[in-house]
Structure 1
């Protein structure tokens, strides 16, 4: 019987059906009716053996590692965005006109900062004293004055109370000192090792099934021999009951019971 070609064909079939096997959380349980041949026993063992399923999972894992390592050599695209909106009631405290700001008019009188209004709004907040509100308003006025003195007035999108920003960044590794190539080679070597591991697991499973299969056949033949021996002893017991003494009959009866007990345990 050629088992090596059988192992190769079964391994190929398992690799093709590995996605379907991976979906199932547990091995499928089968009940067998009738006689079981050696080929059928090997196929059933390869389908349900947890070591074979584990080796298949390792192959899937190494494939994912190869894809992950190769992606390091490909361009990467990063997209970031930000959105900021300020309450119009806070902007109204500056004494500015949003429509004029949108139009881009440089009207210093309308866009002047009103310190007293901001100080009053801050003083209305519970826990903020009048002096602290005045200090904050003065600091804000100084910052606004410096900004207006260093930059000219320009139009702002959304009326001055809304701002947004979108950044698109494309990067690609041009030189990494051979790290990416080495990582790809290691991933390929790991993938090859997982395939050889699968072949080794399949060979071990086939050898184990063969040993257990022939052990069962041997035990079945031994049971038949013991059954014939028990039958012979029973016939001898019947014949000796007429001519042999009681002690001899007891010895023969004890031997028959021992053989019957061994036969029952062997069947189990």
Structure 2
């Protein structure tokens, strides 16, 4: 008798899963609510919850998973779950020796780009019975370093040029000025291209720029206590333009200190100051 009851329960759970998956694929909210109410009475709330959480949600495609969670838990809870999942994945990959920006990268809308190595690492975290389904939904691709991608877009060795110019600046600025220069410069670069933060660009850039200084002076600049650095953005913009290949111009501004529209457009490709430079260009009279 117990064997027959077990088989009946298993058959009912299988039927419930199949019907819920079909309704989910059709995005039929009314049908899903009806099925949940019906199967809750038939196999019980605990069993139905197990079917939904460990079978339906696991086996549906990613779009259906997102739709289900958003409709049944709400957008705010979905976003919280999404952030928690992203953090969990980040820690898994980092703790196994993988590098952000090299082996994996998070893009817009929590989209994740992963290498084959990162893909295999994630698959190894799953129970064997779920790996094939999960692998079918994963697409791996080489993670392009954002610095390389930006320089390819610009058509010049922008970061190499900028590091050289910034290194020269360190020789003439005081420690506090040097710290402020680097702080404002890097904040604008990362604000314009957030992916730079993922590959720890600010830290690497600072150490590259300071390597020609004495250890004592480099330490003093790094440990500057100013939490809200201020520096003349005009000087930074001139250095950025020079890094973009406009070194031939002795003065990158006119007599009144204004930059051309074309120069502002170039700067907008790499930097975001107090205002997005594209916004400034938009209001300049033609």
Return the TM-score normalized by structure 2: 0.21
Q: Say which one has the larger Rg.
A: 1
- Structure whose residues are more often strand by fraction: 1
